A and B are shown apart, each in its own frame.
Chain A
Amino acid sequence: MSAGEGSIVQFDNVGLRYGTEREVLSDIAFTLYPGSFYFLTGASGAGKTSLLKLLYLAQRPSRGVIRMFGTDVITVPRNRLPEFRRRIGVVFQDFRLVPDLSAFDNVALPLRVSGVPENEIRKPVADMLQWVGLEQRADARPASLSGGEQQRVAIARAVIARPEILVADEPTGNVDPEMAVKLLRLFEALNRLGTTVVVATHDVHLLKKVPDSLIMRLDRGRLSDPTGALRYPPRRETVGQ
């Protein structure tokens, strides 16, 4: 299989700069394959969040090519971007829950955005809230939830629509170790169903908890791949088939 063939995401010579500052990301080139589990590591300020922003289409690069789901998303018309965003689940580092909506409605948001009928929303959202242990807090507004609870709502919202790619920025930063492992298991379960998972973290202990994961490392805006994930398709059964 040649590089890029059968991929879900492909970055080629991508650079990103904000305004006239120096590039925060330089010469980024990698390929993500369907059903793989990637960790993106690097010190604070290495550019992890910037790279994730490119992945969840919140930012256009300053240069280079990004292909997602077989389409060049740099040149795709702006009005087509929502259809790509709906295929991506995002766990933001700062959760970004809608303050005026309950936990239930926050989790239901991606389904409502996609036009899922109301009668098909209640059960999956309730199940998801139960899964993250927040079934009793369904009606609570984000302001009355703890940091860990908000993070779990954010994760539930990211995965409720069964995205093809899940992008998570430090998703276990505010939860206890037990919940962190539970959330990782949720990501793994999604991954087994075919979702490509990209988790940005600076927690090296987390990497060991997902044995089949591949690691991308960012250092001052440049990428290295200690596991060879960026050079070769991963050797997992789901990849490329």
Chain B
Amino acid sequence: MKALRHVASDRLLPQARIAGPMPWVIAIMIALTVIAAGAGLGLRNLTQSARNEIAGGITVQIVEGRPAERERQVQAALSLLDELDGVAEVRRVPDEELKALLEPWLGPQAASAEDALPVPAIIDVKLAGSVTEKQLKDLRATIVSSAPSARVDAQARWLQPVFDAAASLQWLAVGLIVLLAGTSAAAVWLAARSALGSNHETIEIVHLLGGTDAQIARIFQRSVAFDAALGGLAGLALGLAAVLLLGKQFAALGSGMVAGGGLGPVDWAVLALIPVIGLALAILTARLTVLAVLRQIL
């Protein structure tokens, strides 16, 4: 019976379209939201992946100009690290790797010549868990006691400014999404008010014949839902195309760090949910707008 009542009330009036450009406005908003959300999720994944990778990472540099002494301190530090609890992995960065790292700045000859700028030896250490300040301090004290020229730093510290920048960009994405949602709601609000204005006479008749606010609001909700669904699907297609294209562009950079910024199945599901949320927001906005206007008449 309730379903029949809905059918009856849905046929109160012919489908009242809210406004011509409404699906396009919603499509653009949804596309921009999908792109902003895609970028935010990608950045989150990227920083998370980078954080995981270097969470337990410590770099030990032996900054000693005399090669023999440097080698002695490297060996001392290595044997010490091998015996320490909580150390998962210790790797001395090979000289060739260091040379390759320095080559772009110092040139091939400067980096390999015997009398070239002394290059510190580097030991890459992975702890079983994340590095705490206390662990770092204790480790530093232990290593320096055997290798006085050692400098011990957590790898996360080097990348902290990058993480901070990425976090700012993520907040920017969240801010953009909130702004876009607000703008979409405002657009629907304006369109609903305009539609109410142009259908004022009809609404008053239905109202005087005993139509409830909910019945009248449903007419507009239905119209907005149609426009929002149409615009949402178009916007999702447009947004996903842009995200895929940007993803391909970044993947082509071949950077290990950027590779961590790929989207997972859950992320794609979140992007697919955006038009659904947009639809719900549009319907809610239309309903509240119509009800607020109707409450002004007896």
Whether both chains belong to one complex is answered with: yes
Q: Which residue of B lies closest to A59 (CB)?
A: B298
Asked whether, in the complex, the Cβ of A58 is within 8 Å of the Cβ of B202, the reply is no
Known pairs A99-B202, A100-B14; A115 contacts B9 (CB<8 A): yes
Is B201 at the interface (CB under 8 A from chain A)? yes
Give chain B's interface residue range (CB within 8 Å of chain A): 20 to 34
Query: How far apart are the CA atoms of A114 and B12 in the complex, in Å?
Result: 10
A83 lies within 8 A of chain B by Cβ = yes
B211 to A82, Cβ gap below 8 A? yes
Supposing A58-B208, A96-B205, A98-B205 touch, asked if A109 and B12 sit within 8 A by C-beta, the answer is yes
Q: Is the CB of B5 within 8 A of A85?
A: no
Are the C-beta atoms of A113 and B9 separated by less than 8 Å? Answer: yes
A112 touching B212 in the complex, CB below 8 Å, given contacts A78-B298, A117-B4: no
Mask: chain B, 160-199; 1 = CB below 8 Å from A; 0 = not:
0000000000000000000000000000000000000000
CB contact list, B190-238 vs A, under 8 A: 201-202, 204-206, 208-213, 215
A84→B9 CA distance, assembly (Å): 18
Instruction: Say yes or no for A116: interface residue by CB 8 A criterion.
Output: yes
Task: Report B127 CB to chain A, min CB distance, Å.
Answer: 65
Residues of B near A98 (CB, < 8 A) are 13, 202, 205-206
Q: In the complex the two chains form, is A83's CB within 8 Å of B9's CB?
A: no
Min C-beta distance of A238 to chain B, whole Å: 24
Interface status of A118 (Cβ within 8 A of chain B): yes
Interface: B134 (CB within 8 A): no
Residues of B within 8 A of A (CB): 1, 4-5, 7-9, 11-14, 201-202, 204-206, 208-213, 215, 295, 298
A-B contact pairs, 23 of them (CB 8 A): A57-B298, A58-B208, A59-B298, A79-B213, A85-B208, A85-B210, A96-B201, A98-B202, A98-B205, A100-B202, A101-B13, A105-B11, A109-B205, A110-B209, A111-B8, A113-B9, A113-B12, A113-B206, A113-B210, A113-B211, A114-B210, A115-B4, A115-B5
The 7 closest A-B pairs by CB, nearest first: A86-B210, A115-B5, A85-B210, A117-B4, A82-B210, A112-B8, A82-B212
